[in-house]
Amino acid sequence: MGEIRESYLVAAASAVALLRDPAVAAAWNKPSALTEFSVAGLAGHLSLQLARVRQALESAAEEIREPIELIEHFSRSAWVQSGLDHESNVNVRRGGEAAAAEGPATLVATADDLLANLRAMLPAEPADRVVDLPWASWSLRLDDFLLTRLIELVVHSDDLAASVGVGTPELPAEVVDPVVEMLARLAVQRHGATAVVRALSRAERAPATISAF
């Protein structure tokens, strides 16, 4: 099994462990650290990063399209640079709330089942597997798609931990490094190389933000 697949499963297991933390259930109906997201909705959104992978693996598209590159994937995704009120971001929040609708215990049980499924499914997938994304109009290489979910797992695990007052899960370099690299590439695309270099090396000339999203 490839490195990105192993890294994804490590991050997914960490996310499920965080969802199981009693602090999440205790804060379930409270606002999260993310604007307009409840803790429940954020937990649901985190769990969807497992559900989306299984959905993509099981998708029976009549024709798999030529996969696009990751940078293009993010460029095409409306949520990346849209405001909170944009339909794409409203739908993200609704999806998280729907996933969490039956409460924390059910969410954790569902996430546990998904993780077990994916641990069995991913090693069997060919190295060149391409997945059609049922919720988009394009395809990605499986490993590229897993990197997008890895980013979501790492970023939103931090969001959820901050929301409920527990420490951000510590993840190994093989999980964090590809996330940081991809976020840096996206930051360069959005803000330009000079802004990113200054933010990382020159505090006196650093821009206000180099956020990738």
* Range list of β-strands (E), the chain: 130-132, 139-141
Question: What's the confidence (pLDDT) of residue 79?
Answer: 64
Q: Which amino acid is at 180?
A: V
- Across residues 103-121, what is the average pLDDT? 97
Mean pLDDT of the chain: 91
Q: Which residues contact 3 (CB under 8 A, 6 or more apart)?
A: 174
pLDDT tens for each residue of 174-196: 999 999 999 999 999 989 999 99
Asked whether residue 62 carries a pLDDT value surpassing 80, the answer given is no
Q: Which of 40-54, 61-75, 76-90, 174-188 has the least mean pLDDT?
A: 76-90
Question: What's the confidence (pLDDT) of residue 59?
Answer: 79
Question: What's the confidence (pLDDT) of residue 31?
Answer: 96
- Across residues 51-78, what is the average pLDDT? 85
Q: Which amino acid is at 146?
A: L
- DSSP notation for 45-76: HHHHHHHHHHHHHH---SSPPPBPPHHHHHHH
Domains along the chain with CATH numbers: 3-172 (1.20.120.450)
Sign of CA dihedral 170, 105, 164, 46: positive
Question: What's the confidence (pLDDT) of residue 158?
Answer: 97
Nearest-CA neighbor of 47 among 99, 7, 89?
A: 99
Q: Which long-range contacts (CB under 8 A, 24 or more apart) does 180-185 make?
A: 182/70, 182/147, 182/151, 183/151, 183/212, 184/212, 185/71
To which H or E segment does residue 42 belong? helix 39-58
Question: What's the confidence (pLDDT) of residue 84?
Answer: 63
pLDDT tens for each residue of 126-152: 999 999 887 788 899 999 999 999 999
Provide the Cα torsion 143, 148, 152, 155; round to 10°. 100
Answer yes or no: pTM beyond 0.85. Answer: yes
